[in-house]
Structure 1
């Protein structure tokens, strides 16, 4: 619950009592006072949750570019806080509307408490003065990131525990909305923090917040393949799987958000490498084809020789909580989402569905074609900002 504070003026100075825990102060309230506080909080949540939010797009990330003026810093702060408030309240509203047996699940209840804490953090910003204090805002946003470090893991465990008494379709629908809005919140916060760091001249000049103007795609693919090869060596004690990139003569660059593409390639490579290792074909190369028909489009094909996917698995592989891993080992690998550690999600069936969510958020697409007994092709379409949007001066 919100921390209740009493303040008064004494000798021209303002004093505030913060020492007493909020639960002690709440215990002194009458039932009517307690009910009024809770009702006001619910009304606030409903109000912010009802506000429409335009889908996040590249135009949003390009509207402010370093170096920022004081006015631009102020406007960016206002927009980010308002969007985070609406998204936080939408998640609270969605969780509270789950069936009773879902809401009382300890993991889902913990998720609800986490979002209430996030709402408290956002509402604790003192208007209008703290809006002109970037270090203070950055500290609060960093606190949000830290608080939500294991949020997906906690929610995933809760939803797995209620699968037997809650329709899978409704769980999938809830997760679709939850993860899209969760990803949006993460991108908003990390973009804000990145822009503020760049405003001090601390980072790569090719970056606009979290957006990279000219990301070398082949270089990123090599980085990810080395990482997944290291994981497979530790896990399976096998030789390294080679990766061939076509065309090899040039390094195609593309404007996108690097951690998103890195996460997607990591998930695709993990599946491809493990499939070939299971058949003893780790010596055969994974083939990558790149095609950039326009400045704002990039196509990738990832081909493995891992024996293909059965029709039963292929029909379910984009469903949340479906996994071919029957048991997750205690020392399983970790995968990083932009701004977030999800060390225990591996094996929970979130990999490909989250790749799909990331791509569709920015107009991209992922398709899988498999030939049983031979191998699998994964087709990825990435959409970037238009050249006009990149060159426009704001």
Structure 2
């Protein structure tokens, strides 16, 4: 089996852009649907193989951790299933492939909590640099695989996944959700025009929710420390703006800032000082017709709330995945500003941990999507 794994791990992943995926959604035909299916069928085993090799290269004591072993086992089973899928030539072949993708997505919902627990338990066996490099690569690869699988599932059902996001609507939903935990902390959104941009809604929601949650949590703590009533609580301020290529969000608080000791490791996985980890549902079910079952499943998946130190580092992974950025500026003793930059043109390649190269899919998509700029990401 490792010989088979070698064959896939030696191949390079082929990144795509949001605009390329949008092109397939807007110009869906049976031919393009089958082409998408075969691209996903070819690409997923390669991306999983790279992660399996990373797991095999972990220190022995880390690799035998039960949480890490569970993730490794899930990845290996998915790799074995996906590499065995024959070329997809008909709609019926695609339907069977979609069922396989759906099963894998559901089975892998436990991956992030298991990774977080495993990396915490093995913290003393890996230095921070190696631990963060492993987690960044693993999470970035996970995002890439789920984006491809989810996009193809929704493409197969004629529903668009990368709709234009409304900055006001997205931010409002995140504030409302964060207020369920900290209703006493006021949030003021600076007045301004709404901003529409094409993006993966779950990604930007995760980032904004985590930043709001961190700000509210620290504001709540400082209020308790200083015996400040909820009516006198200093508000969190949110600013939105845009330019020709990007959308920007700033979340500002006056919650005492971050100490230099903590600030040095805010993007490090396994540290508890970065706030709560909230597991967002990252796939909108479209395969099953049982709407009640979907809603129950959604509520169950969104109810996981564990202090695993994953909020900020994973938010940074999400922001950087499509070429954006997340920066935290703090004044210890006063407050913190979080800045999020999100590209709005959809012309950035996936930020993978391997060098990209051209493919037949790129050629066709580029010719129809009017992409004039490419950025190469190599880690």
TM range (shorter): 0.7 to 0.9
Which residue of the partner structure matches residue 335 of structure 1?
279
Aligned pair 1:58/2:18, yes or no?
Answer: yes
- Of 145, 162, 183, which residue of structure 2 is paired with 1:185? 145
Which residue of the partner structure matches residue 246 of structure 1?
190
Q: CA deviation at 1:80?
A: 0.8
Which residue of the partner structure matches residue 79 of structure 2?
119
- Of 203, 208, 226, which residue of structure 2 is paired with 1:265? 208
Name the CA distance, whole Å, in 2 between partners of 1:174 and 1:392. Answer: 34
Alignment of 1:280-291 (within 5 A): 280=223, 282=230, 283-291=233-241
8 Å Cα contact 2:278-2:302 kept in structure 1: yes
8 Å Cα contact 1:287-1:304 kept in structure 2: yes
2:24 is paired with a residue whose SS is coil
**Which ranges of structure 1 fall in alignment gaps of 5 or more residues?**
1-40, 234-238, 327-331
Name the CA distance, whole Å, in 2 between partners of 1:160 and 1:288. Answer: 32
Q: How many residues align?
A: 330
| RMSD, matched Cα | 2.6
Which residue of the partner structure matches residue 106 of structure 1?
66
Cα distance change, pair 130–89 in 1 and its aligned pair in 2 (3 A): farther
1:53 is paired with a residue whose SS is coil
Name the CA distance, whole Å, in 2 between partners of 1:59 and 1:166. Answer: 38
Which residue of the partner structure matches residue 182 of structure 2?
232
* Residues 154-181 of structure 1: CA deviation (Å, up to 9, x unaligned): 1222222222223332121111111111
Alignment of 1:17-56 (within 5 A): 41-56=1-16
Cα distance change, pair 350–56 in 1 and its aligned pair in 2 (3 A): farther
Aligned pair 1:220/2:170, yes or no?
Answer: yes
Name the CA distance, whole Å, in 2 between partners of 1:159 and 1:83. Answer: 27
Which residue of the partner structure matches residue 307 of structure 1?
256
Q: CA deviation at 1:334?
A: 4.0
Name the CA distance, whole Å, in 2 between partners of 1:374 and 1:170. Answer: 33
2:341 is paired with a residue whose SS is strand
Cα distance change, pair 220–59 in 1 and its aligned pair in 2 (3 A): closer
Structure whose alpha-carbon radius of gyration is higher: 1
- Of 135, 158, 161, which residue of structure 1 is paired with 2:95? 135
What is the TM-score with the length of structure 1 in the denominator? 0.77
Q: CA deviation at 1:344?
A: 5.4
8 Å Cα contact 1:153-1:345 kept in structure 2: no
What is the TM-score with the length of structure 2 in the denominator? 0.80
User: Higher strand share goes to which structure?
Assistant: 1
Cα distance change, pair 106–342 in 1 and its aligned pair in 2 (3 A): farther
